[in-house]
Amino acid sequence: MAEIKTIPDFSLTPRIDQVGIEERASRFTKRSIKNETKIKGLKLALNMIDLTTLEGKDTDGKVKQLCYKACHLHDAYPGLPSVAAVCVYPSMVAVAKKALGDSGIKVASVATAFPSGQSTRDVKLRDTKFAINQGADEIDMVISRGKFHQGEYNFVFDEIAAIKEACGEARLKVILETGELGSYDKVRRASDIAMYAGADFIKTSTGKISPAATMPVTLVMLEAIRDFYYKTGKKIAMKPAGGISKAKLALHYLVMLNEVLGEEWMNNEWFRFGASSLANDILMQLMKQKTGVYQSADYFALD
């Protein structure tokens, strides 16, 4: 991996052609996918999901139920892969860690005053370290969008770098909250800041703001990852989150991922979906492929 020796001037990041990016993203939805490839893609997408519960009403029981679902997807369809991770608040990390046991499924935790990010760096660092000490394998942090919009890019950079250091061996997903950034140019700039500051993943959204993930925004971020890789030799992972609830849409994202970044990124180490309801639709589609009929959504847990 090449060492990053210089930090760019983030005010000079590339401008994005809005019409061009939206046209290219639209083309990925028109690819024809053969049935065998579709089944392979659905299983891959399932293996890339971070099952998530991030509500004020979360309880130990709800988290345990989600973890049980994560570990038993193959009950209805033997041979299915597991999901990638279960994502919870820091206070629920220990519950999830125990419930997942030796399943191999990661425990991810949001941190840094999620979802607003409106707190001091000291609080954000303590939030992160608490989640790590409870057993989190991954941390999903939010950037300080207010500082970003004020043009305080060094503040945003330094905060991400500090959280990355606090993560130790845990991987860091940096949430840009693209629905609050306002333009593709700003999405690109925030992506570059996050990657140069040490992000292991760049992530679109918290899922609490609309719009959340979109294909054009994700394409901007994938191209930022590609350019960063060409400049530094360092691979960065991607996580679109929020609004991806249908299997067909997930397949469109995988087509885009493959065409922009290639086969090396086509696994859950380098790509995730933050979309719990997506798992149910994938299961329904796979059962349709297997049996020829759709099962009722009532057969699948909502969480």
pTM: 0.92
Active-site residue identified among 164, 203, 281, 303: 203
The one catalytic residue in 137, 140, 192, 200 is 140
Is position 239 annotated as part of the catalytic site? yes
Chosen CATH of 10-29+57-299 out of 3.20.20.70, 3.40.50.300, 3.30.70.380, 3.10.20.30: 3.20.20.70
SS (H, E, C) the chain: CCCCCCCCCHHHCCCCCHHHHHHHHHHHCCCCCCHHHHHHHHHHHHHCEEEECCCCCCCHHHHHHHHHHHHCHHHCCCCCCCCCEEEECHHHHHHHHHHHCCCCCEEEEECCCCCCCCCCHHHHHHHHHHHHHHCCCEEEEECCHHHHHCCCHHHHHHHHHHHHHHHCCCEEEEECCHHHCCCHHHHHHHHHHHHHHCCCEEECCCCCCCCCCCHHHHHHHHHHHHHHHHHHCCCCEEECECCCCCHHHHHHHHHHHHHHCCHHHCCCCCECEECHHHHHHHHHHHHHHHHCCCCCHHHCCCC
**Interior CA angle at 29 toward 27 and 260, to 5°?**
65
Q: What is the pLDDT of residue 121?
A: 97
173 as an active site residue: the answer is: no
* The pLDDT value given to residue 75: 75
pLDDT at 114: 96
Confidence (pLDDT) at 57:
96
Catalytic site residue 298? no
- Per-residue pLDDT in tens (0 to 9) along the chain, 303 residues: 445 556 788 877 889 999 999 999 999 999 888 888 999 999 999 999 999 999 999 999 999 999 999 999 877 677 899 999 999 999 999 999 999 999 999 999 999 999 999 999 999 999 999 999 999 999 999 999 999 999 999 999 999 999 999 999 999 999 999 999 999 999 999 999 999 999 999 999 999 999 999 999 999 999 999 999 999 999 999 999 999 999 999 999 999 999 999 999 999 999 999 987 899 999 999 887 766 655 555 444 555
The catalytic residue among 50, 186, 239, 303 is 239
* Domain range list for the chain: 10-29+57-299
